[in-house]
């Protein structure tokens, strides 16, 4: 992809119904602070429910943090087409249903369709799979996607940085996603050697 100096980096963020909506919110909040990034967000029906169950945020507040917001049933959205240039997609958290549908090419909603487009255009696709324990089907689906170039970044905390709060753990996860997207972050939780 040719990068034009004044073009913003376009990142698609799909939020599915797995637990861990806080990871998506933190990513969206931090991307909003990056001046050369444009965010395109989609929440599945169950992601909206988890937003209510797990946080104090309203969907309207999240929509206001995004540059563009799409309904998950809108298969005519710009991000459903490969001709709409994006610089990557993050599915955070990624439910095992979503992982499975993408692994077998079922693009029946906008999140799975946008992921399918990301794959066919050979763009960066990152998944934050959120399930434990993992069964063989989960592992096989993630392995299949990994072989296609999908980067799996499960929310597994690091403790070398001595986290004190849940936010410290979330910050570290967002740092990993920023790194995978090639976006500079001001994280202080990096390993500095011994």
> pLDDT (tens digit, 9 = 90+) per residue, 127-145?
999 999 999 999 999 999 9
Q: Categorize the per-residue pLDDT at 6 as very low, low, confident or very high, splitting at 50, 70 and 90.
A: confident
Is 160 among the annotated ligand-binding positions? yes
Sheet holding 37-43, edge to edge: 68-71, 37-43, 9-15, 88-94, 125-129, 151-152
Residue 98 counted as an annotated binding residue: yes
Residue 2 token pair: 């040719």
149 marked as binding residue: no
Q: Does 144 count as an annotated binding residue?
A: no
130 marked as binding residue: yes
76 in a labelled binding site: no
pLDDT of 186 over the 80 cut? no
| pLDDT score of 3 more than 80 | no
pLDDT of 4: 58
pLDDT digits (tens, 9 = 90+) for 23-50: 999 999 999 999 999 999 999 999 999 9
Q: Give the pTM.
A: 0.94
Tokens linked to 8: 């913003």
How many angstroms separate the Cα of 50 from the Cα of each of 27, 36, 62, 111? Answer: 16, 29, 13, 16
In CATH, the number for domain 9-181 is 3.40.50.1950
**18: annotated binding-site residue?**
yes
pLDDT in tens, 73-125: 999 999 999 999 999 999 999 999 999 999 999 999 999 999 999 999 999 99
Q: How many CB atoms lie within 10 A of CB 119?
A: 18
Cα–Cα dist 124/136, whole Å: 25
40 has which bridge partners?
12, 68
Q: Report residue 97 as tokens.
A: 């249903």
Confidence of residue 7 (pLDDT cuts 50, 70, 90): confident
Instruction: Give domain limits for the chain.
Output: 9-181
How far is the CA of 81 from the CAs of 34, 77, 107, 114, in angstroms? 25, 8, 12, 8
pLDDT at 109: 97
The pLDDT-based confidence of 5 (bands split at 50, 70, 90) is: low
Does 112 sit behind a cis peptide bond, omega within 30 degrees of 0 on the bond before it? no
Whether 93 and 153 have beta carbons less than 8 Å apart is answered as no
Asked whether residue 176 is marked as a ligand-binding residue, the answer is yes
- Using CA atoms, how far apart are residues 102 and 117, in angstroms rounded to an integer? 10
Residue 65 labeled ligand binder: no
pLDDT of residue 2: 53
């Amino acid at each position: 992809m040719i990068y034009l100096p004044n073009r913003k980096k376009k990142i698609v963020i799909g939020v599915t119904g797995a637990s861990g909506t806080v990871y998506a919110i933190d990513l969206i909040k931090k991307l909003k602070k990056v001046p050369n990034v444009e965010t395109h967000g989609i929440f599945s029906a169950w992601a909206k429910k988890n937003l209510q169950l797990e946080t104090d945020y309203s969907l309207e507040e999240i929509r206001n943090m995004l540059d563009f917001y799409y309904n998950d049933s809108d298969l005519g959205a710009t991000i459903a087409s490969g001709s709409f240039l994006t610089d990557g997609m993050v599915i955070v958290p990624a439910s095992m249903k979503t992982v499975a549908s993408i692994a077998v090419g079922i693009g029946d909603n906008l999140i799975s369709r946008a992921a399918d487009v990301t794959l066919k255009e050979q763009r960066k696709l990152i998944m934050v799979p959120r399930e434990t324990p993992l069964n063989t089907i989960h592992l096989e689906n993630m392995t299949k996607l990994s072989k296609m170039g999908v980067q799996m970044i499960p929310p597994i905390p690091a403790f070398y940085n001595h986290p004190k709060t849940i936010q410290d753990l979330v910050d570290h996860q967002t740092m990993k996603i920023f790194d995978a997207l090639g976006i500079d972050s001001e994280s202080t939780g990096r390993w500095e050697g011994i």
